[in-house]
């Protein structure tokens, strides 16, 4: 199956009321397990990488590996570069072969965010690359003020203008979600999700989905959100799997078997997320 465009995948998800997990991967193994999980579930998935890992793995090589898995998958798989916090990082992502890139100007003043995203979209259009942007600011789960107060939330009345002026293909919104572990249980602002959904025509993205109660994410799916970023919980599943294996002593002294042994747990984790984000039991 050919690699699919993120935006086409998300538009299908929006129309058919399912969510697509966008799983943050760090290497070939975590990307492969993510794609295999999607194949087992007969549902699409997005494999994404954070450019801050570029010193750990060359982004060009990991983009190529992810595209290889996508092109050979039996289900639609899309590949995406996550949080590109400067113009240069976003354009490097396009150069390195990511068919979709997020440019994150959400910490900037509104007009600067608009200008940054527009400038990246102008380049991306030349190469047919999808661009995700963020309006409002998704902060850190370790700081309750980042997600429990609405100061940083997306303003629906600005969202339509933002999408129109920037030409972004999808929009990440801040609605009570945050990155990393949460210091207390988040409560998503469903009214705001609905208002954002009504305000813009492009797919909506939720960052920081780890540890948000499943029923809240399912409600967000039914309100029309379609991309759900998951990093922290996947990394935790990876850690727990390695920890379990080391404690068992089953592969004592064999690093290769240890690394290959985490596949079952990683696939099981991603499969559970795919099921959870498909509350209406859509199947491909
Ligand atoms: Zn994020």
Instruction: Name the average pLDDT for the chain.
Output: 96
Task: For residue 96, tell me if it sits in a domain.
Answer: yes
What integer is the mean pLDDT of 102-114?
98
> Total structural domains in the chain?
1
- Rounded CA separation 71/3 (Å): 5
What integer is the mean pLDDT of 3-22?
95
Residue 242 belongs to domain with CATH number: 3.20.20.70
Q: Residue 121: how many CA atoms within 13 Å on its side-chain side?
A: 21
Task: For residue 255, tell me if it sits in a domain.
Answer: yes
More confident residue, 148 or 241: 241
278 CA → ligand 1 middle, Å? 21
138 CA → ligand 1 middle, Å? 7
Task: For residue 1, tell me if it sits in a domain.
Answer: no
253 CA → ligand 1 middle, Å? 36
26 CA → ligand 1 middle, Å? 15
255 CA → ligand 1 middle, Å? 31
Element (H or E) spanning 130, and its range?
strand 130-135
- Rounded CA separation 13/116 (Å): 28
Task: For residue 282, tell me if it sits in a domain.
Answer: no
pLDDT of residue 284: 80
Which tens digit of pLDDT belongs to each residue from 209-247?
999 999 999 999 999 999 999 999 999 999 999 999 999
What is this structure's pTM? 0.97
What integer is the mean pLDDT of 38-61?
96
Task: For residue 154, tell me if it sits in a domain.
Answer: yes
Task: For residue 179, tell me if it sits in a domain.
Answer: yes
Task: For residue 284, tell me if it sits in a domain.
Answer: no
With a cut of 90, say whether residue 3 has pLDDT above it: no
With a cut of 80, say whether residue 168 has pLDDT above it: yes
What integer is the mean pLDDT of 44-73?
96
Catalytic positions are: 82
What integer is the mean pLDDT of 159-186?
97
With a cut of 90, say whether residue 248 has pLDDT above it: yes
6 CA → ligand 1 middle, Å? 16
204 CA → ligand 1 middle, Å? 13
- Rounded CA separation 137/126 (Å): 28
Task: For residue 116, tell me if it sits in a domain.
Answer: yes
Residues in CB range of 62: below 8 A, 6 or more apart:
25, 27, 28, 31, 49
- Rounded CA separation 244/216 (Å): 30
pLDDT of residue 197: 98
**3-state DSSP call for residue 250?**
coil
Q: Is residue 22 within 8 Å of residue 80, measured between CB atoms? A: yes
**What residue numbers bound the domain in which 153 lies?**
6-276
pLDDT of residue 1: 74
Q: In the structure, what pLDDT confidence band is assigned to residue 283 with cuts at 50, 70 and 90?
A: confident
């Amino acid at each position: 199956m050919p690699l699919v465009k993120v935006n086409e995948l998300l538009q299908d998800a929006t129309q058919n009321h399912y969510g697509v997990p966008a799983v943050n991967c760090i290497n070939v193994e975590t990307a492969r397990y993510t794609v295999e999980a999607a194949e087992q579930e007969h549902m699409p998935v997005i494999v994404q990488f954070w450019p801050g890992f570029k010193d750990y793995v060359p982004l060009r090589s990991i983009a190529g590996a992810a595209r290889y898995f996508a092109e050979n998958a039996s289900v639609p798989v899309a590949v995406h570069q996550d949080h590109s916090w400067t113009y240069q990082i976003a354009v490097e992502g396009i150069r390195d072969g990511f068919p979709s890139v997020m440019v994150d100007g959400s910490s900037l003043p509104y007009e600067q965010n608009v200008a940054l995203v527009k400038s990246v979209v102008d380049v991306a259009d030349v190469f047919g690359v999808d661009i995700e942007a963020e309006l409002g600011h998704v902060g850190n789960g370790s700081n309750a003020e980042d997600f429990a107060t609405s100061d940083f939330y997306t303003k629906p009345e600005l969202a339509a203008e933002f999408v129109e002026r920037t030409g972004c293909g999808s929009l990440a919104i801040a609605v009570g979600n945050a990155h990393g572990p949460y210091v207390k249980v988040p409560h998503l602002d469903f009214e705001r999700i609905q208002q954002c959904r009504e305000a813009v025509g492009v797919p909506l993205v939720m960052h920081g989905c780890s540890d948000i109660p499943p029923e809240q994410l399912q409600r967000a799916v039914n309100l029309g959100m379609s991309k759900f970023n998951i990093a922290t919980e996947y990394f935790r599943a990876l850690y727990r799997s390695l920890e379990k294996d080391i404690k068992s002593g089953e592969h004592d002294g064999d690093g290769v078997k240890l690394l290959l042994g985490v596949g079952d747990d990683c696939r099981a984790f991603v499969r559970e997320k795919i099921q959870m984000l498909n509350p209406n039991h859509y199947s491909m």
